[in-house]
Structure formats: structure tokens, C-alpha cells
Amino acid sequence: MTETAERRRGRSVVRVEDRLLRGARASVLAVTVAVQFGLCLPTLIQHSRRYEPLWLEIAGFVLMAGIAAGAAVCLARHGRIPPPARRVGVGLVLLAAVAAAVAAPAGNYLDVAHWYFGLVGWYGVLLLFDRPPTRLALFLGANLAVALAKAIVSGPPGPREWAAMAVSVVSVYGFQFALSLVVQVVWRVAARARETAEEEERFSTAEAVAEHVHRDHRQRYVALLGTAVPLLAGLGYGSLDPSDPDVRRRCAHEAARMRRLFAERDDVSDRLVHELRAVIEVAERSGITVQFAARGEPRELPKDVRRELIDPVSAVLATAASSTRVTVVRTPDRVRVSALGDGPGQPRLEFGSRHVEVHVLVGENRLWVEAVWRQGTPSR
């Protein structure tokens, strides 16, 4: 089955979704790194004498930078941050915020020396990219609690400072939370695009399977149209005598062919042997004793080749009076199916073989037929 236009369009939608999410995550990472090294690093250097101890403030900064580097590696390899890495990153960012707050000068986060306050929120947006907004709200609340604890320990702020701090929280965290909501919308749109693509893929596959089954059923009907239908019509209208041995052989042969056609639909590992056994079962129900032997490893053969290999065996089984021996020999370059049966007279054998060579030998009350398929044999 060839790939349909719907399937190609579905895959295109999935690729667009992947690029969209990957680009959004990379953009948030770029903003986070730009804020840390473009705004926070100059502030840290400028107020380095105010931090006590300085090494703890630097450790918090370096720890956040390491988280950004780890996130960049995850995005480059997987296109997203795996859940275990996300959980570790959230914990380390809060730890870095605590370290930076402890070493920061006395006062509240309105002091520019408290560079960590706004930066932590960007890491929250990055790490909680595809998580519910409540997760980011809790994360921002934890960072705010750290900053407020530092402010209260340094000395209770006055009413004006509380108001200024509230305005700062709304402006900084409000913007970051709003950006997170926008990211959530992008993520939902991408998820819907993937679901739509998968649904189209399922419909396309079901349609292709239905078309294949319909074509296969039509081929089966055509295969029976030229032989089984005239035989049934002759029996129905009385132009053929059911007691005639030739008519009975034709009926047995067509019954075996129909049983083989039904067996073609079965999902088995060795289709040739399975379809041969189906034909043999029809003969055995008619009282014929069949000895069957198969040698060689199973191999995948086209349906037309299997049909042409089995049809001569079916003819011998339909002609046999009491017993038949069927043999399958498979080698790397050929497959040979032969049948030796007993039967009076010379039967009427007709084989339209395009892919196999059929050899027939008729003796006194014996009929031997061999069908050979060679690897790379062209159609005739």
C-alpha cells in the first residue's frame, strides 16, 4: 500500500507541532539566559561588596547557570525537559534562591542587589513549561516566601514598602504567569494538532486496509468466476451429472480451491504449508488418505506463486481414488511442491502457470505432478 496524501499531511502536522514546541521552549531558555547574564550578572558584580558571604551569592548564581546548561542539553537531545530532570531542576532553583537570599544585603527585593527575585520566575516558566499553571503559581509562591522571609528578618517593612513590594510582585510575577498561560495555549494547540494527525492516520490506515480487503475479495471472486460458477450453474440447471466421475473430480478440485482461498486470509507464519493443509483437509474429508511432508525453512512467497504451487496438488487430490503423497521441499533458491496419487485413467489437467514450472507424469493408475518456483523467475 502506498502512502496516501492524508498520511503525509498528518506527518507534516506532527512535524510542525514538534518544531512549534521546541521553538517555544528554546525561546523561554534564551530569555532566561539573557536575563541572568545580561541583567543579573552586572548587578551581582556591581554590588559584590554588599554580599555576605560573597561565595554563597556566587554559588547561587552558578547553580542557576548550571540548570540552564542542563536544560539546554535536554532540549538539544530530546526537544523537552524530562520529568525527572524537571523535578531536580525545580528543587535546585529554589535552593539557589535561598542561597542568594541569605547572602543578599539586608532589606527586601526592591533593592536591585536582590537580583534572584525576578530571575527565579523565568526558571519556573522554563522548567514547568507544559505543566498546569497551578504548578508555576506554587513555585512562584515558594520563591516569594523566601524573599519575604529575608525582608522580615532584615526588619519589618513599612506600609509604603509593602505597597511597593506588592506592585513589584504583580508586575514581575504577573507577566511571567501570563506568559506561562500563553505557553499553555500553544501547548494545547500543538497537542490538538497531534491528536488530529493521529486520528487522520487511523482513518487513512483503515481506509487503505478496507480498500486492500475489497481488492482481495474481488480477486478471489474473479479466481472462482471462470471455474466454480459454471460448475455450480451446470449442476443447478441439470446440464452436469453429479454421478459423472469427471464432474465429481471437478467439484472436489473446486472445493479444495475455495478452501485454499479462505485459508489465504489466515495470519500464520508458514502460509504455503497452511494453505496446503487446507486443501488436504478437503481431500481427507472425502476419504482420501494423504501423507504430507515438508522440508526446508518457511519463506514468504507472493500469493499468486502460492496459488500456482498448490493448484496442481489440488488437482491430484481431486483425482485420487484412495491415497496421495504430498511433499514440499524448500531451498534458498527454489520451492518444489509435488503430489503422487492413485486414480484411474488420465485426468483433464489445466494449469495457467505464470510463475512456476509444472511437470506432469501419468502412469498406469498413477499421477505425479510437480510445481517448481525458482528465485527470480520472470512471469510468463
The string of DSSP codes covering 128-168 is TTTS-HHHHHHHHHHHHHHHHHHHHHH----HHHHHHHHHH
- Closest CA relative to residue 261, chosen from 248, 278, 246, 245: 278
User: Which of the pair, 345 or 84, is modelled with greater confidence?
Assistant: 84
The tally of CA atoms less than 13 A away on the side-chain side of residue 294 is 12
User: Which of the pair, 191 or 271, is modelled with greater confidence?
Assistant: 271
Q: Are residues 274 and 127 in the same domain?
A: no
Q: With 50 as the cut, is the pLDDT of residue 110 above it?
A: yes
Q: With 50 as the cut, is the pLDDT of residue 9 above it?
A: no
What is the tens place of the pLDDT at every residue in 193-230?
A: 777 777 777 777 777 777 766 676 676 666 666 666 67
Predicted pLDDT of residue 62:
93
The distance of Cα 318 from the centroid of its chain, to the nearest Å, equals 46
Residue 218 lies in a domain: no
Q: What is the mean pLDDT of residues 36-52?
A: 89
Number of domains composing the chain = 2
Q: With 90 as the cut, is the pLDDT of residue 63 above it?
A: yes
Q: Are residues 134 and 275 in the same domain?
A: no
Which alpha helices (H) appear in the chain, and where do they start and end? 5-35, 41-46, 54-78, 83-103, 116-127, 133-154, 159-225, 228-237, 245-263, 271-285, 303-319
Q: Percent of the chain beyond pLDDT 70?
A: 80
Q: Are residues 16 and 135 in the same domain?
A: yes
Residue 104 zone, left/alpha/beta (φ > 0; ψ -120 to 50; rest): beta
Q: Percent of the chain beyond pLDDT 90?
A: 11
Domain extent, residue 58, equals 5-200
Q: What is the mean pLDDT of residues 278-306?
A: 85
Q: With 90 as the cut, is the pLDDT of residue 92 above it?
A: yes
Predicted pLDDT of residue 10:
46
| CATH number of 252's domain | 3.30.565.10
3-state SS of 279-300 is HHHHHHHCCCEEEEEEECCCCC
For residue 325, list its beta bridge partners: 291, 340
| Confidence bin at 336 (pLDDT 50/70/90) | very high
